[in-house]
């Protein structure tokens, strides 16, 4: 097959299985980092733009405006190129620097929110306000508003079809990060429609307010909903059986662990989902094929969570987490 546009490279991502010893379970990683923009959000970005064009809310030559920590923005930059649109990404200091560089490299215009924010504070409320205002002021512009856009969860239909084909023995559980809630809603609803016995676990960062816990700042980028912001209208709580929080240390130490033990560079939010999936398996609460998405790759975080100094400065290094993972995955301390 010869492709002619970059967005034709979206989807058909491979799966990698990590066997869990002494448990009747394996962790299946859907490698969404293999999408052309490096994250699962390529699927929904393209779908939102295509839907807006189809419904006449956006016309060729128009302007896409979105508040993004980087992954949605990168997907939108690709979609804008394909459909001949301008794209303005509204970001804050919380966005991983390499993600912002990537959006700029793909032709996005970047507007960074100014303000007196703590380093681990997400300025998402201000980001949303500025994006909506910009779109209202610029002729032919549209604020994509991924948190409230039904084309966000709908974009994951293809991912679920791929999983059914890739895991013919059946899927027993899905453990997914929750930010806008678009991916877990789109994936969990479809999995349950096919088999109501599928267990679904939503993972938010500790400090996020989606599941009713008090908010505080956190470093995990792109996921969760910080205090002061509204939970996405796309999120369907009813398709999530259990909700848990991953600390920054659990998320980042797990991402670092999976890189050095399995050779897979996964992003921070994925680290949190993997840690929680294993915790559920070892608590005897999940068995069989437990799927999680590798939302994005560690390549986007080399100067942050994969940098020892960055981690140490923020007191996020915790060797006990690596030992716990060794115990879970190898039944003992890892030996070379
Ligand atoms: C790195 C990362 N993890 C998790 C999520 C959460 O995904 P969703 O918005 O579908 O809930 C996102 C969303 O942008 C993300 O970029």
Q: Is there a single domain that holds both residue 93 and residue 197?
A: no
Least confident of 9-13, 98-102, 134-138: 98-102
CA distance to 10, 143, 146, 186, per residue, from 5 (Å): 10, 24, 23, 25
Q: Is there a single domain that holds both residue 218 and residue 301?
A: yes
184 belongs to a structural domain? yes
125 belongs to a structural domain? yes
What's residue 335's pLDDT?
A: 64
Band of residue 334 on the pLDDT scale cut at 50, 70, 90: low
Q: Is there a single domain that holds both residue 182 and residue 308?
A: yes
Q: How far is the CA of 296 from the centre of ligand 1 (A)?
A: 9
Q: Which amino acid residue places its CA nearest to atom 16 of ligand 1?
A: 222
Out of 116, 143, 170, pick the residue that ends a domain: 143
What's residue 125's pLDDT?
A: 80
Q: What is the mean pLDDT of residues 135-160?
A: 97
Q: What is the mean pLDDT of residues 95-121?
A: 84
Band of residue 126 on the pLDDT scale cut at 50, 70, 90: confident
Q: How far is the CA of 3 from the centre of ligand 1 (A)?
A: 27
Domains in the chain: how many in total?
2
Q: Is there a single domain that holds both residue 23 and residue 169?
A: yes
209 belongs to a structural domain? yes
108 belongs to a structural domain? yes
Q: What is the pLDDT of residues 258-276, one digit of tens each?
A: 999 999 999 999 999 999 9
221 belongs to a structural domain? yes
Least confident of 6-15, 109-118, 216-225, 314-323: 109-118
For residue 315, give the CATH number of its domain. Answer: 3.40.50.1100
Q: Is there a single domain that holds both residue 49 and residue 102?
A: yes
Q: Is there a single domain that holds both residue 274 and residue 173?
A: yes
* pTM greater than 0.85: yes
Q: Is there a single domain that holds both residue 22 and residue 139?
A: no
Q: Which amino acid residue places its CA nearest to atom 5 of ligand 1?
A: 223
Q: Which atom of ligand 1 is nearest the CA belonging to 221?
A: 1
Q: Which domain holds residue 15?
A: 6-34+156-325
Q: Is there a single domain that holds both residue 24 and residue 45?
A: no
Q: Is there a single domain that holds both residue 168 and residue 311?
A: yes
Q: How far is the CA of 184 from the centre of ligand 1 (A)?
A: 9
| Pocket, ligand 1, Cβ cutoff 6 A | 39, 41, 71-72, 177-184, 222-223, 267, 269, 295-296
CA distance to 194, 219, 255, 267, per residue, from 286 (Å): 18, 28, 21, 23
What's residue 209's pLDDT?
A: 97
Q: Is there a single domain that holds both residue 225 and residue 275?
A: yes
DSSP string across 18-69: EEETTTTEEEEEE-GGGSTTSBTHHHHHHHHHHHHHHTTSS-TT-EEEEE-S
Band of residue 119 on the pLDDT scale cut at 50, 70, 90: low
Is the confidence at residue 240, as pLDDT, over 90? yes
Q: Is there a single domain that holds both residue 319 and residue 237?
A: yes
Is the confidence at residue 336, as pLDDT, over 60? no
What's residue 38's pLDDT?
A: 97
Out of 121, 143, 165, pick the residue that ends a domain: 143
């Amino acid at each position: 097959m010869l492709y002619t546009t970059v967005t034709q490279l979206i989807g058909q991502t491979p799966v990698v299985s990590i066997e869990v010893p002494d448990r009747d379970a394996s962790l299946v990683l859907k490698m969404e980092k293999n999408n052309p923009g490096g994250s699962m959000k390529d699927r929904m970005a393209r779908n939102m733009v295509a839907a807006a064009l189809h419904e006449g809310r956006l016309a060729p030559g128009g302007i896409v405006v979105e508040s993004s920590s980087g992954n949605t923005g990168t997907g939108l930059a690709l979609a804008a190129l394909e459909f001949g649109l301008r794209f303005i990404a509204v970001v804050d200091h919380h966005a991983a620097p390499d993600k912002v560089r990537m959006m700029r490299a793909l032709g996005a215009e970047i507007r960074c929110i100014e303000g007196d924010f703590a380093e681990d504070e997400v300025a998402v409320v201000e980001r949303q306000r500025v994006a909506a205002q910009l779109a209202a002021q610029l002729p032919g512009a549209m604020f994509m508003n991924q948190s409230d856009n039904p084309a966000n969860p709908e974009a994951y239909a293809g991912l679920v079809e791929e999983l059914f084909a890739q895991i013919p023995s059946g899927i027993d559980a899905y453990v997914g990060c929750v930010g806008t809630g678009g991916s877990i809603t789109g994936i969990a609803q479809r999995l349950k429609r096919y088999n109501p016995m599928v267990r679904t676990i939503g993972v938010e960062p500790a400090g996020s307010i989606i599941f009713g816990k008090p908010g505080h700042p956190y470093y995990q980028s792109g996921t969760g909903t910080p205090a002061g912001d509204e939970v996405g209208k796309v999120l369907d709580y009813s398709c999530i059986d259990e909700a848990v929080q991953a600390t920054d240390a659990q998320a980042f130490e797990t991402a670092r662990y999976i890189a050095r033990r399995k050779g897979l560079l996964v992003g921070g939010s994925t680290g949190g989902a993997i840690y929680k999936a294993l915790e559920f398996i070892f608590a005897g609460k999940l068995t069989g094929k437990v799927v999680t998405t590798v939302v994005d790759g560690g390549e986007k975080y080399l100067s942050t969570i994969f940098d020892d100094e960055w981690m140490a400065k923020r007191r996020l290094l915790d060797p006990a987490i690596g030992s716990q993972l060794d115990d879970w995955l190898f039944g003992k301390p890892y030996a070379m």
